[in-house]
Structure 1
Amino acid sequence: MKTLKSLLLVLGLSPMLVWAAGSMEGHASPASASKSAAGQPGKPAKVSRTVNVTMSDTMRFAPDSIQVKRGETVRFVVRNVGKVEHEMVIGTAAELKEHAQMMRSMPDAKHSIPNQIMLAPGKQGTLVWQFDGPGTVDFACLVPGHFEAGMVGKVAVK
């Protein structure tokens, strides 16, 4: 019984240990829990519209301001038109700030989380998100230096 408890403890902690070691592939960071004040991962079958977003080396998103309805599920078709890697991460201002700080401390870490898409130069991908509550939700590129250079945007949820 003691061995079983020890095994369960190790298995339960292993995602955190991998994340702390800097290899976050396939593991969510604490700031990227499935559901947050920013909403939750959307179901592709429930998408009500598609928004095209470009990311560029001028450290800007286009558009950088989007309006959605409360409860709406949006498919973001995100394209990196720059020559360096960029990402789009959806979250609250606090979540994005925390995640940006983590990215600065582990700049080579690669991760895959439901509220984020990272793209190499010239690549395109999709991100499906449901906006649950009214207010403002942020999105940003958290590649070290990009957030600080102003690569941020806002989603107004009405």
Structure 2
Amino acid sequence: MRASKLLALLLIAATSTSARAHGEQDHAKKPAAVVKEQKPWGIAGDRRAARRSVEVGMGDNMRFTPARIEVRQGETLRFVIRNRGQVMHEFVIGTKQELDEHAALMAKFPDMEHDEPYMAHVPPGQTGEIVWTFNRAGEFDFACLIAGHYQAGMVGTIVVAPATHRSQ
């Protein structure tokens, strides 16, 4: 997200009576309707289209397991994100630039609430889920953007291989 868009979201969150912070409360509940907005790294996916699930573990050692995920362009994945730690963690997909900008904003405003289909906030001992369609080839990142976690190296890579076209 651009800094201006993030600032606008921050202002909305700050003035909303229903905004939640990055505390230990339950972030597992998602709104019923997912907004499908094309991002450089893909678009929110339909759970029925997911042919593969990938379990991603995260812990207080500030690491993801696995830290590298390979996908084919056009593939819809169901990420099952397990927080094996004792503190809140999150899994956010994006480009390095967008994650850098968002992490800087989170460092300034650690209680900022955000909820997008490409992110999951997972309390200790809980499991979250993201369904995402990788419709663009390239190398993208995922990270925990809770203040200090990203800076401690809680990042990973998603490599989306271009779809191969069959000639007839």
Deviations 1:94-140 (A, max 9, x none): 11111111111110122211110001100001111111111101000
Contact 2:13 2:113 in 1 (8 A): no
Corresponding residue of 2:68: 65
Rg larger in structure: 1
Corresponding residue of 2:12: 18
Segments of 5+ residues of structure 2 without an aligned counterpart are: 1-7, 21-28, 30-35, 162-168
Q: Percent identity?
A: 45
- The CA distance in 2 between the partners of 1:16 and 1:103, in whole Å, is 10
Deviations 1:50-86 (A, max 9, x none): 0000000000000000100001000000000000100
Paired AA for residue 107 in structure 1: P
- The CA distance in 1 between the partners of 2:108 and 2:60, in whole Å, is 22
Secondary structure of the structure 2 residue equivalent to 1:113: coil
- The CA distance in 2 between the partners of 1:118 and 1:74, in whole Å, is 18
- The CA distance in 2 between the partners of 1:44 and 1:145, in whole Å, is 32
Corresponding residue of 1:7: none
**TM-aligned CA distance change 1:15 to 1:66, over 3 Å:** closer
Contact 1:24 1:112 in 2 (8 A): no
**TM-aligned CA distance change 1:15 to 1:98, over 3 Å:** closer
Normalising by the residue count of structure 1, what TM-score does the alignment of the two structures yield? Answer: 0.81
Segments of 5+ residues of structure 1 without an aligned counterpart are: 1-13, 27-32
> Within the alignment, does 1:142 sit opposite 2:145 as a pair?
yes
**TM-aligned CA distance change 1:137 to 1:66, over 3 Å:** same
Question: Would you tell me which structure has more helix in proportion to its own residues?
Answer: 1
Q: CA RMSD in A?
A: 2.3
Normalising by the residue count of structure 2, what TM-score does the alignment of the two structures yield? Answer: 0.76
Secondary structure of the structure 2 residue equivalent to 1:99: helix
**Which structure 1 residue ranges, 4+ long, deviate > 2 Å from structure 2?**
14-17, 19-26
